[in-house]
Amino acid sequence: MKSKKFTMGLLIFYLIVLTWIIIFKLQFSFENLPHIRNINLIPFGESVIINGKMDFGEIIQNALAFIPFGVLMHVLWEEKPLIKQMAPVVAVSLLYEIIQFLFAVGATDITDVIANSLGGMIGIIIAVFISKLSAKHWIKIINIVSISCAIVLTAFIAMLILANM
């Protein structure tokens, strides 16, 4: 149970950082945010086409950003069906897109929701794979890797803050 409480703390930290990245665009003030209110409901439509070609960079980045969410959700809800583990990932992704639209701080794009959901699913698959490899210590392994990543991310954020002072 201690491990799952620790995982919950990691999830909260992760969601705070993810919110800062997606909603605040790595800024510390709403004044510095771009004011964009755009909505795209066509998957993989104009929003991902640059110079007439499909740009997969942002799609891949979105998926990568949500992989930890899937991993942590599987640790916390391993006994629940995969669809229920995915529900918070999809809900948070939709919430971010709605917030971006309401506050005009980014483009609201269904492609982002799809990519984020794919990342969450990949994270769940990774966690399932790790749990099969090490049935006894898999949660501990995930927590150690997650805290290591959180430390590196915190150092990166600190450097970003210092560089912008």
CB 17 within 8 A of CB 66: no
CA distance 126 to 149: 16
Cα dihedral 140/155/121/25 (nearest 10): 150
pLDDT tens digit sequence for 119-139: 999 999 999 999 999 888 899
* pTM metric for this prediction: 0.88
How much is the pLDDT for 74?
A: 96
Mean pLDDT value across residues 3-16:
93
Across the chain, which distance is largest between two alpha carbons, in Å?
Answer: 52
| E strands in the chain | 36-40, 49-50, 53-54, 105-109
Query: What distance in Å separates the CA atoms of residue 63 and residue 126, rounded to the nearest whole number?
Result: 13
**Do 49 and 55 contact (CB within 8 A), yes or no?**
yes
Ordered by start, the domain boundaries in the chain are 2-163
pLDDT tens, position by position, 62-80: 999 999 999 999 999 999 9
